[in-house]
Amino acid sequence: MCGIIGCTGVKNASAVLYKGLLDLEYRGYDSAGMAVLCDGGIVTVKKKGRVCALSAAAEELRGTSGIGHTRWATHGIPSDENAHPHTAGKFSVVHNGIIENYAELKEELVSQGCSFSSHTDSEVVVHLLNRCYSGDFKDAVLHTVRRLRGSFALCILCADSDGFAAVKYRNPIIVGKGGGALFAASDMPALSGLAESVAVLKDGQIAFASHGEMDLCDFSGEAQALTFSPVPAAVRAAGLCGFPHYMIKEINEIPAAVKNTVHAFLEERCFERVTRAAKKRGFGNIFLCGCGTAYHAALAAAYSAEELLGIPARAETAGEFRGRKSAVGRSTLFVAVSQSGETADTVEAARTAKQRGAYVLAVTNVPYSALTSVADCVVPVRAGTEVCVAATKSYCGQVAALSLVVSALKGRAECRRTLSELQEVCSKCASAISGFSAEAAARACASSSGVYFIGRGIDYPVALEGSLKLKEVSYVPGEGYPSGELKHGTLALIDGGTLAVAVMTDIRSGEKTASAVEQIYSRGGRVAVICSPGCAPRGIAERAEFYAELPECGGMLSPIISVIPLQLIAYRTAVMLGRDPDKPRNLAKSVTVE
């Protein structure tokens, strides 16, 4: 959720923090703030709104150490008071996560005379630190973290100590060093251009950064080793590169994302690892879990897996899986899908499945994430850094990775065939991007009271994803439906003010989706059609509000291509309506709380 950053040993901490917060803003942008060590004290500025609201105040801060925060609100409305950092006595704290026992801690602290100025769960941390402090910074941190329950990544300043502490428990934090300075951040992009090398903290670790040295210990205070590696090239290369928004830049990077994911599958010998596990376990069923876009990729894979493998394959949202006693056991392949690898519900679902005996396979875009530490096997997505909150290229990378997993389970010949088809898909993606004009469809969406995406079979997950993209970035309401379900209630919403987008890539189900289109026409609704050659029956194109034919695609790889027009429509609709497609209201890129 929230983005946090810390630095020490720099010339101008406020400038470093401000740049880092801009790079982390995709994690939350309800409010922002920073605290800097100045002349033996802590000076804090924080404001409701985006990071740019800090610009003028940040220029006046002077110091070589500091911490910063950009917020996605959980406890307490977006406001100056609820913005981080929170300060008490000699301490200032920024927090990403949830303190589950904050209510009982707050009651205890209030009874001891502490006065709270916010409605956040996070403020209890700084009051605990101040209460535990008797002159030893490390001791105060250790006593405090042992009392916290929930999930938390923290950066902490102490007025008596030159530097900061970084704490990790079930929320991500990365530390870095470069040019004699030391850093910490929620994600790698914030360290680009600052750190020369980085290390990923593990759960239950604390890094104390001061005087050019990074000392690591666990929550018991025992010293631990820390290994640094060079900053990945993909992170160093992140930027708009002339595009007006990250969303359209990342859509244009889909061919590279698919190509690089294929290369990663081969380089990391994923076929051998998947087939070795299948031989050892004898998988009798497959569960696939994810949230949002990742769930849609998982659902597409579930359709393909059942058809190709002939065993039960089921996709479920990660939050729902955790609350049910599903039939998961030793013969289950549990596939967890997450762009960030930090999605709390997905990580916990993977832990739950593993406890029940399942073999856990992670499909993620981030190799240093919490999900990879839980999984028995990781199949990487190599989409590169994705800054836009709405996932685009990572979805296509996930579908590619999942299709390779499914084909590997079928056997070497099937896997080779899928690898060959994915080479063609890369060029077809490029054609779909360059050959598609979304203006007419975007105008239709922008003028609609609701947009309903429909598809059948493997087109249904794509319909769900198209609807999600439009809602995320343009705020135009609507839903995604299986074509056959439209008549069971949703037709009541269809009139001249609504638009239906029909996705048809499977010739076997094209006629049935066309039947749903006819039902929409008969109620006065408008229809846009996205289809593969030969999938739309005669007469559909002539009456469509908008009609676009995709490069030929079919089977389990079709969602990679058919989603592209829907992403472009969502992007153009958002821009047309004056929305910021990169930072939709109320949303954040990495959902690290439950």
Active site residues: 2, 589
Within 13 Å and on the Cβ side, how many CA atoms surround 286? 26
Q: Cis peptide leading into 477, omega within 30 of 0?
A: no
Instruction: Give kind and range of the element (H or E) at residue 165.
Output: strand 164-169
* Distance in angstroms (rounded) separating the CA atoms of residues 581 and 283: 41
| Beta strand 498-504 pairing with 526-531 | parallel
For the chain, first and last CA: distance in Å? 10
Lookup: tokens for 351:
């832990």
Neighbours of 522 (CB within 10 A): 10
| Beta strand 285-290 pairing with 223-224 | unpaired
Instruction: Give kind and range of the element (H or E) at residue 168.
Output: strand 164-169
Number of helical H runs and strand E runs in the chain: 20, 25
* Distance in angstroms (rounded) separating the CA atoms of residues 367 and 321: 24
Phi-psi map region of 187: left, alpha, beta (phi>0 left; psi -120 to 50 alpha): beta
Lookup: tokens for 95:
């927090």
> Each residue of 249-270: b (16+ CB within 10 Å) or e?
bbbbbbbbbbbbbbebbeebeb
Name the nearest CA neighbour of 331 among 290, 280, 379: 280
* Distance in angstroms (rounded) separating the CA atoms of residues 113 and 109: 7
How many whole angstroms from its chain centre is CA 275?
28
Residues composing the chain? 594
Q: What is the DSSP letter of 19?
A: H
Name the nearest CA neighbour of 593 among 21, 124, 74, 187: 74
Are the C-beta atoms of 390 and 259 separated by less than 8 Å? Answer: no
Computed from CA positions of residues 185, 190, 195, 198, in that sequence, does the dihedral angle turn out positive or negative?
Answer: positive
* Distance in angstroms (rounded) separating the CA atoms of residues 214 and 323: 40
Name the nearest CA neighbour of 165 among 123, 111, 201: 201
Lookup: tokens for 43:
């000076």
Name the nearest CA neighbour of 469 among 293, 324, 328, 329: 293
Name the nearest CA neighbour of 351 among 63, 51, 151: 151
Distances (CA, A) of 517 to 356, 435, 463: 44, 25, 14
- At 280, the amino acid letter reads K
Lookup: tokens for 584:
């939709």
Sheet containing 41-48: give its strands across.
41-48, 31-38, 65-71, 3-8, 181-185, 174-178, 197-200, 229-230
Instruction: For residue 475, give the 3-state DSSP assignment.
Output: coil
